[in-house]
Structures are given as C-alpha cells and as structure tokens.
Amino acid sequence: MRDRGPVLLRTARSLTANPSDAEDLLQTALTKTYLAWERIEDHRALDGYVRRALVNTRTSQWRKRKVDEFACEELPEPDPTPAPDPAEQQVLRDAMWRAVVRLPDRQRAMVVLRYYEDLSEAQTAEVLGVSIGTVKSAVSRALGKLREDPELSRAA
C-alpha cells in the first residue's frame, strides 16, 4: 500500500467525483483484497486485482444508489464558477505533453518519472542511477523550460 497507494488512489478518484468517496472506495477495495488474500494466486499482480475490486465495488455502489427527489418551490442557486471546459483541459494537456517531449531526453525522463509516474526524488534517482541532487537540478531546469514554453503560454 505504501508504494502503490497514490497510484491506486488516483484510479479511485477517476471513478468517483468526490475525493472522500475515492478514499472510501480504495479502502473498501483493499479490504476486499485482504479478505481474498488466500484465493489470489499471483501476488505479483495485486495492482490489477485491486483495480478490478475498485471498478466492481464502484459499479455495485452505483447500482445500489437511491435517488431521492424532492419538489421545492425555489430552484437551487447555480454554481457560481462554471466547470472547466473539458475540451480546453484536453488542449492544455496535449500542449503540456508536446512541451515535455521537446525537453532533452534526461530532463524528460526525470519529469515523467517525477510527475507522471509520481515517483519521489529518491526513487527517480535510483531508477536513473543518478544522485538526488542531479534529479533536483535537472527537474528544476526542465520546469523552467516548461514555464517559458510559448505553446504552453498560448494554451493557458
């Protein structure tokens, strides 16, 4: 759980709209995994098992959900801040990825491991066989380049 928790929580958050519900969903899936521990044949494939438990649990919750409707005389207040446009978010994600791809190989590897794979500085250093200081300085330079990228400033 210590190693894979953030990744599994990210999966749970993609299945629910509320971060608290995502934490509850992950806890339930981990409990189900623990209870089925003896039946799991390949313990190296636990990520897949927990992900399947997340999806199945969420599907069960969705099916059991009751929707209560109440008639009222006043409509609820509209959300003061509109939700971000998914198309604009995708444009920004695409621009960010293109900017990351333009980074030098070493910086790109460090940015991907740190921010896309959510590894710590120490884990990134270990994977790449460099010091933690090298990771810190290279990531700092890469982030500076990303901040100055003209395509990103247009997309934002």
CB atoms within 10 A of CB 152: 17
Sequence-ordered list of residues with C-beta below 8 angstroms from that of 54, at least 6 positions apart, any chain: 8, 11, 12, 15, 25, 26, 29
For residues 135 and 109, what is the distance between their CA atoms, to the nearest angstrom? 10
Contact criterion met (CB below 8 Å) for 142 and 103: yes
**pLDDT for position 11:** 84
For residues 133 and 135, what is the distance between their CA atoms, to the nearest angstrom? 5
**pLDDT for position 65:** 67
Q: At what angle do helices 46-64 and 5-15 cross, to 10 degrees?
A: 30
Residue from 144, 121, 140 nearest 132 by CA: 121
**pLDDT for position 10:** 85
**pLDDT for position 155:** 64
Contact criterion met (CB below 8 Å) for 110 and 128: yes
Instruction: Tell me how many degrees the CA angle 152-89-65 measures, rounded to the nearest 5.
Output: 160
Both tokens of 60, joined, read 């069960």
**pLDDT for position 53:** 87
**pLDDT for position 67:** 63
Phi-psi region of 140 (alpha: psi -120 to 50; beta: other; left: phi over 0): alpha
Question: pTM, whole model, 2 decimals?
Answer: 0.47
Mean pLDDT by runs of 10 across the 156 residues of the chain is 80 85 89 84 78 86 68 75 84 91 93 92 93 96 93 75
Both tokens of 50, joined, read 């927990």
